[in-house]
Amino acid sequence: MLNQKDNETITRVSAGTPMGDLVRRFWIPFLQSWEVPEPDCDPIRVTLMGEELVAFRDTNGKVGLVGRLCLHRNADLFFGRNEDCGLRCTYHGWKYDTEGNCVDMPSEDEDSIFKDKIHLKAYPVNEAAGVLWTYMGPKELTPDMPKLEWMRVDDGYRHVSWNIQESNFVQAIEGGIDSAHVNYLHSSLDTHAWIKRNSEASPARNGGGERARGNGGGPQQLMGQFMSRDKHPKLFVKPTDYGLLIGARRHTGEENDYWRLNNFLMPFYTTPPGRSMHAFVPLDDTHTARWSFTWQVDAPYSAADKAAMRKGQGIHSELIPGTHTPTHNMTNDYKIDRTMQRLETFTGIKDFGAQDYSIQEGMGVISDRTTEHLGITDRGIIAMRALLLESARNLLEGIEPPHATKGDSYWVHGGQTLLPATANWEEEEAVTKAIAAVV
């Protein structure tokens, strides 16, 4: 468990808080490129790290992310006119460019230099792999972009989505690195039926998250065959340049053990086995953007694959049209089917992501970790919390997070494999082979 002070430290993300300042040292995804589609298109509201912002694409195609309120009389710039390389407030016509400079102030005298003294809060934007990223930390410390694997494939080979989760970002991360819950939360009452159903349902040969990994159904068979044999895995944690490598070893009753390996990448990424990744981005203290990335390397996704993922296949969730709200959400009890729960699946919740939401949102928007009783399978979660807290405290002492400057080390994904029961976690060779073996 955490004491109340540590729980406050790890969950509060507004500017000036230890965790808020830490996360701001990294590039943060905030919108998909298609959401700000063309020059002079409609502005879009953005809430990020507890700040109210507005995004717009100017006449030259450059995206700006600026404070939402005009510095004149606090009018909402979401209602502004996006025109002639700037966003113009509709109250008195003050106009701002993507850098936050006030470039026109028609309500003042023509010879006034007042506009030169006005600067709206603005954050740099980098557009990469169909995603808009921003850096909200000190300009002089701007790091390189993370070299994530899904960013390295062509557009047709990846699928990206995001949805709003009504909880703090830390409890979302905790679900993403918890290998023990897979035996329960995402399981079927009939293991063989679960393997068959998920193999048939998966739209992607590689990249469907828990529901699809590897080629030809091999990983699904591997996971389904051995996960159920050992429901209390032993957890191992290894610090890395990007964060943590977390291994879950399950005895199979044979000469080889089953290893499930995932990663926590600072400050909010997780990777289940296979070519899939989540980013749990704080919108504010009590809301999280759950980003889901899947990709493959042998062929582009088909139109049917894409449609299936938009319908909630794999780690992606189906969304209410025109929103980033999942169709299975707290207001409808995640469409739980109690008959299905009694006869088919452990939860009775069909949508894979909603199985996680039901737990993470059900804890309350900020979980009271002072009441927890952690067990041996929580080692990864304990290590992740310790890393975040230590990094935040170091930053207070002027020690910058080293992970932010090591973008090349972020080229990793999760894996699963069989290793001899004698394999030593501490041996680098065994770990390297395991993490590379997405079979």
End-to-end CA distance of the chain: 36
Q: Which fold has domain 149-436?
A: Naphthalene 1,2-dioxygenase Alpha Subunit; Chain A, domain 1 (3.90.380)
For residue 246, report the phi and psi dihedrals to the nearest 5 degrees: -120, 120
- Residue 150 CB-half CA count within 13 A: 25
What pLDDT sits at residue 421? 86
pLDDT at 351 over 50: yes
Q: What value does the mean pLDDT of the chain take? A: 88
Q: What value does the mean pLDDT take over residues 162-168?
A: 97
What pLDDT sits at residue 278? 97
**Nearest to residue 297, comparing CAs of 128, 149, 147?**
149
3-state secondary structure of 197: helix
Q: How confident is the model at residue 224 (pLDDT cuts 50, 70, 90)?
A: low
Percent of the chain with pLDDT over 90: 70
Q: What value does the mean pLDDT take over residues 366-389?
A: 94
Q: Which single residue is written with the structure tokens 């039901």? A: 358
Give residue limits of the domains in the chain.
Answer: 27-141, 149-436
pLDDT at 240 over 70: yes
Is the pTM higher than 0.85? The answer reads yes
Q: What is the pLDDT of residues 73-131, one digit of tens each?
A: 999 999 999 999 999 999 999 999 999 999 999 999 988 999 999 999 999 999 999 99
Higher pLDDT, 439 or 399: 399
Residue type, 224: G
pLDDT at 266 over 70: yes
Q: Which single residue is written with the structure tokens 């600026």? A: 66
**Nearest to residue 372, comparing CAs of 281, 381, 233?**
381
Q: How confident is the model at residue 178 (pLDDT cuts 50, 70, 90)?
A: confident
> What architecture is domain 27-141?
3-layer Sandwich (2.102)
Q: What value does the mean pLDDT take over residues 288-307?
A: 96
pLDDT at 198 over 60: no
What pLDDT sits at residue 309? 96
